[in-house]
């Protein structure tokens, strides 16, 4: 039997269904929110550390100064990335924690430069001053110079019986693509100031210029000398003996022990015997879990407040995203520090090859304004050159590792002329333009000699400003800065000799310098207030940064491809760049 409903009954029925669906969606949302909250709490809850434990550091893959702060970063492929901040704080806590007997460091191939390895090595040496032992375990390092350098910061080095250790020296190849571009009909048109500013020589030259070769050889030689000296001191050898071992290059198992490069040849389970074989077995606590231990519970990170601002990646105008330094974002952090009377000083940690000249100058201005109210100390990581040096040079004090790459005071700008390629593939263009120079940046035609001259004058003006501000910050004459500038990259040790930095060291030395400038006693602990802040669940859910992380996260693309894409795409809107050159690996 068919029942017909009048319009009022139909409307009432529809309303009831709507209410039911609203209630269903509401409960689904509550359940989802509860699930996410439980998941969040499970990841944030401090681990239970047994009364007998050892801290386990698995050092392999990409290393950053400070990890991603988004809620979802722990769930991305590979989890939370290894960071200098977590390692440094973890070792500080482990030294003070009576439950931690020692540190076991398993070392694999690291995707970072030498200064980060030196920072970890220094932290291990500082940990050992507590009287606890640090053991390095090497499974296989076929090209492991910087990883072995790191391992020498431990009390003992152990290698797997079939382990392969390669310490074959420093160097490599720099690819040049000019002939490839010529075949494609593409011409790189870049003006740079000055001769050592070789950031785009890969595209404009078919090999090293004399300045490019001189600079690269000097950097590698300086780094090699530091490496040899550190290994010689750690392994009780002469520098000549270490150089002879490097020339031998490869050692397997017992060969490495016989050469005095390692102390024992053992399997991994045997290497942890010092903490597991005395009747009260110690349990491993991974750094990823131990990072959630509150430092204050161990009597650390307490007292008067010092800001620790991390500036990482290519410098860009606008907001910053994952592992990039946006001028708007960094400026906001410095403004917050200036307005907070409880913060007595700032440590600005820089790991950047540079980027936009305008964005670099914006951050420089914020550092300059901040130091007028409270001390600012710069700590340089792997890279702090070009724009990365620009943002550092007005600080009260600059501290770099001997292996840091810095300086590169110079600028570059240009474009790629695709007109030859267009001819090859049959693309034609027609021009409509108002203004004599309106199409100077077009990829469809080359620049005229007059335009290149105009271009050179514009970037010369920016270089002169770079020089003037560096001279003011470093209390030098502009002509003296120009002599050590000209785009040249220096190691931290070289930079100290020529006055570009004040001291050699890492984060601990920077914190001590900030304390001294703020009038805080050397033995007094301080609380570090860190930027960037952790991103909330909802900000991560709707924020652009997390989407960026999914697309360009280290591990999803080869590092070289990711870096090239980052420079090409994110600097596309910038016209003048302060970038460091590519160095051989």
Catalytic residue positions? Answer: 386
Task: Check if the beta carbon of residue 415 is closer than 8 Å to that of residue 503.
Answer: no
Q: What are phi and psi of 59, to 5 degrees?
A: -100, 105
Contact 559, 335 (CB under 8 A): no
Tell whether the torsion through CA atoms of 294, 298, 303 and 306 is positive or negative: negative
Q: Are 360 and 328 in contact, with CB atoms under 8 Å apart?
A: no
Cα distances (angstroms) measured from residue 451 to each of 414, 430, 458: 11, 20, 11
Nearest to 447 by CA among 150, 439, 96: 439
Nearest to 158 by CA among 119, 211, 102: 102
Greatest alpha-carbon span in the chain: 104
- Alpha-carbon span 318 to 326, nearest angstrom: 5
Alpha-carbon distance of 575 to 356, in angstroms, equals 8
Burial class (CB in 10 A: 0-12, 13-18, 19+), 480: middle
CB atoms within 10 A of CB 356: 27
């Amino acid at each position: 039997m068919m029942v017909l409903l009048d319009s009022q009954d139909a409307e009432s029925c529809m309303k009831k269904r709507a209410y039911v669906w609203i209630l269903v969606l509401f409960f689904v949302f509550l359940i989802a929110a509860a699930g996410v909250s439980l998941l969040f709490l499970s990841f944030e809850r401090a681990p239970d550390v047994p009364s007998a434990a050892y801290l386990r550091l698995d050092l392999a893959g990409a290393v950053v100064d400070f990890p991603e702060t988004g809620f979802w970063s722990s769930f991305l492929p590979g989890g939370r990335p290894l960071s200098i901040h977590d390692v440094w704080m973890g070792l500080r806590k482990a030294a003070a924690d009576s439950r931690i007997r020692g540190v076991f460091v398993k070392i694999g191939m690291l995707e970072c430069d030498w200064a980060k390895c030196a920072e970890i090595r220094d932290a291990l040496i500082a940990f050992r001053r507590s009287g606890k032992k640090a053991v390095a375990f090497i499974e296989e390092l076929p090209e492991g110079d910087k990883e072995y350098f790191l391992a020498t910061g431990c009390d003992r080095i152990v290698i797997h019986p079939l382990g392969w250790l390669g310490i074959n020296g420093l160097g490599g190849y720099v690819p040049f693509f000019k002939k490839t571009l010529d075949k494609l009909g593409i011409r790189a048109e870049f003006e740079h100031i000055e001769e050592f500013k070789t950031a785009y020589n890969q595209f404009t030259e078919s090999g090293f210029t004399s300045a490019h070769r001189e600079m690269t050889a000097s950097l590698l030689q300086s780094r090699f000398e530091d490496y040899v000296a550190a290994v010689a001191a750690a392994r009780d050898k002469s520098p000549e003996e270490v150089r002879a071992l490097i020339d031998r290059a490869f050692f397997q198992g017992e060969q490495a022990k016989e050469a005095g490069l390692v102390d024992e040849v053992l399997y991994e389970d045997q290497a942890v015997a010092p903490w597991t074989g005395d009747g009260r077995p110690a349990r491993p606590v991974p750094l990823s879990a131990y990072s959630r231990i509150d430092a204050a519970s161990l009597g650390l990170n307490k007292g008067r407040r010092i800001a620790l601002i991390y500036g990482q990646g290519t410098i860009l105008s606008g907001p910053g995203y994952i592992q990039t330094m946006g001028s708007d974002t960094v400026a906001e952090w410095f403004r917050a520090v200036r307005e907070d009377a409880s913060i007595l000083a700032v440590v600005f940690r820089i790991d950047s090859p540079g980027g936009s000249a305008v964005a670099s100058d914006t951050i420089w201005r914020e550092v300059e304004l901040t130091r007028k109210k409270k001390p600012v100390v710069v700590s340089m990581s792997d890279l702090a050159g070009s724009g990365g040096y620009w943002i550092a040079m007005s600080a009260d004090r600059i501290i770099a590792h001997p292996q840091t790459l810095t300086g590169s005071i110079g600028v570059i700008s240009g474009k790629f002329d695709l007109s030859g390629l267009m001819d090859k593939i049959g693309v034609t263009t027609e021009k409509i333009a108002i203004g004599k120079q309106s199409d100077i940046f077009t990829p469809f035609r080359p620049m005229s000699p007059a335009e290149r001259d105009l271009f050179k004058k514009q970037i010369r003006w920016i270089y002169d400003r770079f020089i003037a501000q560096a001279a003011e910050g470093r209390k030098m004459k502009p002509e003296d800065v120009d002599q050590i500038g000209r785009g040249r990259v220096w190691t931290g040790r070289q930079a100290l000799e020529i006055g570009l930095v004040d001291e050699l060291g890492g984060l601990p030395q920077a914190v001590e310098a900030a304390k001294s400038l703020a009038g805080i006693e050397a033995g007094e602990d301080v609380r570090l207030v860190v930027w960037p802040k952790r991103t909330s669940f909802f900000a991560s859910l709707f924020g652009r940064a997390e989407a960026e992380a999914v697309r360009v996260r280290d591990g999803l693309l080869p590092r070289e491809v990711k870096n090239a894409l980052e420079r090409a795409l994110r600097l596309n809107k910038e016209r003048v760049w302060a970038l460091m050159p590519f160095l051989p690996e």
